Structure 1
Amino acid sequence: MTRNAPPIAIESVGENPTPIWGLSNRERTRRIAAASGLATDGNGGGNGETRVIVHDAFAWDPAWLRHVAANPGLVLTMGRIPALAHVRSEAEAEAVRTSIRGDKPLAAGDMTVLAYENGPTIENKQLRKRETPFLMALFPDTVRRIERASYFGAYKGVTDILTKYLWPEWALMITRICARFGVTPNMVTAVGAVLCILATYLFAQGEYWAGMAVGLGFMVLDTVDGKLARCTITSSWWGNVFDHGIDLIHPPFWWWFWATGLVHWGLGLTPEIFESVMIAIIGGYVLQRVIEGIFMRRNHEMHIHVWRRFDSWFRLITARRNPNMVILFVSMLSGRPDFGIVGVAWWTVISCAVHAVRLLQAEIVRGRDGRLTSWLSEG
């Protein structure tokens, strides 16, 4: 789309009574289209001929709509039946409608056909990753598979070890329940915020096991709110600020009050050690975030953790909240929560040093090659 062109219109063809994530398929399509900047009232496309036609019998990842909308004349098919098609004329539109309504192969003319069965890949621009997003026929017996594909399609390609391996299934179950009962992402974030504050209080009182249990609930909900927003297409500016603001601000408070709570165990740190630990943890936390921000700014918004395979692996264990909680959990198994917070301080310093070295290496490579390429986009 050019800067001054009217938005491309979206047109759904067919009827499908099967809901997904508590929404009709047509409503889901409308929300995805609106989020993608397409006209949802049928008035886009200038003369009314340039539009994206969507087959209501299929459910698909939002990435497919963005890809098809960006490529006039492209049609994505399954079993030779159009699922999404960017038509350029009324003749192409009618050919697509006829194929959909008659459930027969498309007479494509000079349209470019992308057959899903051939495993086509498109680029996830945020993660610099090539992938084949899901496309499935939507029936009552495929809803759970589609919701699962939609949910995991909304998962970050690179994240920490707990989010990746421990609770995806729990979060999927809670996300489904929330969608069914109309619970909004901001409601989930609000509940999580209460748990976050409660965990902070419990850490300050030295009630570490209770604090970690409450904190676990918060960490799971911290996954649920974002996935619920993406799956139900209800992301908002305020929701992002609310969610990411809590994520950004709360970790230093957890570590600070964990350290002060040690007095209840008779393990309080000396003033000198407390000061050193907090400088290492809080200073390292801020510096690591700054390094990540500089890397993104210098490399076209590419995250530092998707540059090389090592970076993606290191993201699993780098000194963020969840890996730090693993360190604290292990220290509690030995009955020495003081060792845990000192361990977090050391791991933060090490992680910060690794990030600083990677930023320097990236500058060297960028100066030599002109631009960095994510390993996820290779091959």
Structure 2
Amino acid sequence: MAPRFSSFEDAVKVKPLAILVGQAPVRLWGIDGRERLRRVLGKLGVELHDEHATAPTGRDLLYLRADYLFDERVVAALLETPGVALRATADGPLVALHAPAAQAAPASAVLAGQTPADGYRIETPESLASAYQERLRKRSTPYVLPVTEAERPALEQRLFGTAYKGVTDFITKWWWPRPARQVTGVCARRGITPNQVTLTGLVLTVAAGFAFWGGWWLPGLVCAWLMTFLDTVDGKLARVTVKSSRFGDILDHGIDLIHPPFWYAAWALGAPEGSLPAQALIWVIVIGYVGGRLAEGAFQVLCAKFSLFVWRPFDSFNRLVTARRNPNLLMLTVCALLGAPALGLWLVAGWTVLSTVLLWARVGMALAERRRGALVSWLQQVGREIPADSLAVRWFAR
């Protein structure tokens, strides 16, 4: 008998109960499949139900195989699509099912392959969930993969790769991934939490600021670079272990947003007396930095909900080098090593002004185009207006 599905609106009024099926002894980034799914479902506000207990009436049930690794986008999409039976691949086994509570027994048999999936809409991860990830500014194919010990290294790499932003500065994108993966693994195995990593970064942020203020360039730069590295690690650790929290997110982004101007001001105050107009440069950098951030915000308020840096490929290339902390810190480092710390601050001031002017110019262009219709991120146009083999796709969308 085919399941009787309610309307979509009725189905999503109350979130389904989740039932995990099977065992998953292989641990990825320190946690097994059941615990990973429990954390993912907890983030989505979904309650777990014992697979051996009687299913309550009036609630949809979401069955998930615990011996498979689910892309979080796929789980979120399943919650919103009652009546779907999910295959890992087009000709692969059923790995998930969103069914009404009244059909709990037959649904369980369907997932086990004992009963045909009549009446269910068959989907795959690619057909169910979007490849575009707005928060991480990237495209990646949604997946559901079997978890085995032999595949553990590849699956851990997949989780780490999907946790990484596609559009970011060139240091975060190309310098940090390899060491960050190793440190993330150490943290995961030893039970170090993302918030502990972030708080360590906060201590280093303060230490770098005081060192710059005192003119101790090299110790300050060591602290600063360690902080920027840990700023990569904490987010990746949170995503691969599914331990992100509201507090951690606010703390991490708050530190990222606030500390750069204080570093530049401390650098100016620590420079040899008379080597540069400290007060004037501080104001130029602070105004330029705030202006750049306001330009990004203005784009999202006035033009589109997505980031300015994923509007056109040009903007993604610009993000690699725009006057954010890491490119600016590299200029300060090179100049300090050359014995010209004052020159470093002049370069940061000039690059900040140029970057901010460019960002506002892009906002103006976006406003003009917005009058002709809604803006669309280039990441959503790959394979259509944007060639799939273009440099932008190779760098940012894979």
Paired residue secondary structure (2:24): coil
- Using the TM superposition, give the Cα deviation of residue 288 of structure 1 relative to its aligned residue in structure 2, in angstroms: 0.9
- Using the TM superposition, give the Cα deviation of residue 158 of structure 1 relative to its aligned residue in structure 2, in angstroms: 1.0
Tell me, in whole angstroms, the C-alpha distance in 2 between the residues paired with 1:240 and 1:119: 28
Distance 1:168 1:287, change over 3 A: same
- Using the TM superposition, give the Cα deviation of residue 128 of structure 1 relative to its aligned residue in structure 2, in angstroms: 7.2
Contact 1:268 1:338 in 2 (8 A): no
Distance 1:218 1:137, change over 3 A: same
Query: Do structure 1's residue 85 and structure 2's residue 88 form an aligned pair?
Result: no
Query: Do structure 1's residue 25 and structure 2's residue 33 form an aligned pair?
Result: yes
Paired residue secondary structure (1:17): coil
2:368 matched to which residue of 1? 364
- Using the TM superposition, give the Cα deviation of residue 300 of structure 1 relative to its aligned residue in structure 2, in angstroms: 4.6
Deviations 1:173-216 (A, max 9, x none): 11111111111111111111111111112212222222212211
TM-score of the superposed pair, with normalisation by structure 1: 0.89
Deviations 1:328-347 (A, max 9, x none): 12223432111111000000
1:114 matched to which residue of 2? 123
Tell me, in whole angstroms, the C-alpha distance in 2 between the residues paired with 1:170 and 1:268: 40
Tell me, in whole angstroms, the C-alpha distance in 2 between the residues paired with 1:268 and 1:215: 25
Contact 2:15 2:60 in 1 (8 A): no
Tell me, in whole angstroms, the C-alpha distance in 2 between the residues paired with 1:344 and 1:282: 11
Structure 1: gaps spanning 5 or more residues: none
1:307 matched to which residue of 2? 311
Query: Do structure 1's residue 124 and structure 2's residue 133 form an aligned pair?
Result: yes
Paired residue secondary structure (1:316): helix
Amino acid at match of 1:357: A
What is the alpha-carbon root mean square deviation over aligned residues?
2.5
Contact 1:21 1:180 in 2 (8 A): yes
> Which of 13, 28, 31 matches 2:21?
13
Q: Report how many residues are paired.
A: 369
Amino acid at match of 1:21: W
Distance 1:46 1:307, change over 3 A: farther
Query: Do structure 1's residue 373 and structure 2's residue 379 form an aligned pair?
Result: no
Tell me, in whole angstroms, the C-alpha distance in 1 between the residues paired with 2:58 and 2:26: 29
> Which of 209, 213, 222 matches 1:213?
222
2:109 matched to which residue of 1? 98
Structure 2: gaps spanning 5 or more residues: 1-7, 384-398
Query: Do structure 1's residue 141 and structure 2's residue 150 form an aligned pair?
Result: yes
Deviations 1:350-371 (A, max 9, x none): 00001100111111111111x1
Contact 1:284 1:349 in 2 (8 A): yes
Contact 1:76 1:114 in 2 (8 A): yes
- Using the TM superposition, give the Cα deviation of residue 121 of structure 1 relative to its aligned residue in structure 2, in angstroms: 4.8
Tell me, in whole angstroms, the C-alpha distance in 2 between the residues paired with 1:286 and 1:174: 32
Q: Percent identity?
A: 36
Distance 1:341 1:129, change over 3 A: closer
Deviations 1:293-316 (A, max 9, x none): 121122452111110001111111
Paired residue secondary structure (2:62): strand
Tell me, in whole angstroms, the C-alpha distance in 1 between the residues paired with 2:109 and 2:129: 25
- Using the TM superposition, give the Cα deviation of residue 320 of structure 1 relative to its aligned residue in structure 2, in angstroms: 0.6
Distance 1:130 1:161, change over 3 A: closer
Listed as ranges, the matches of 1:1-379 within 5 Å are: 2=9, 5-41=13-49, 47=57, 50-78=60-88, 79-88=91-100, 90-91=102-103, 93-94=104-105, 97-98=108-109, 100-101=111-112, 107-115=116-124, 121-126=130-135, 130-263=139-272, 268-270=274-276, 273-369=277-373, 371-378=374-381, 379=383
Distance 1:364 1:300, change over 3 A: closer
Tell me, in whole angstroms, the C-alpha distance in 1 between the residues paired with 2:168 and 2:126: 30
Contact 1:127 1:302 in 2 (8 A): no
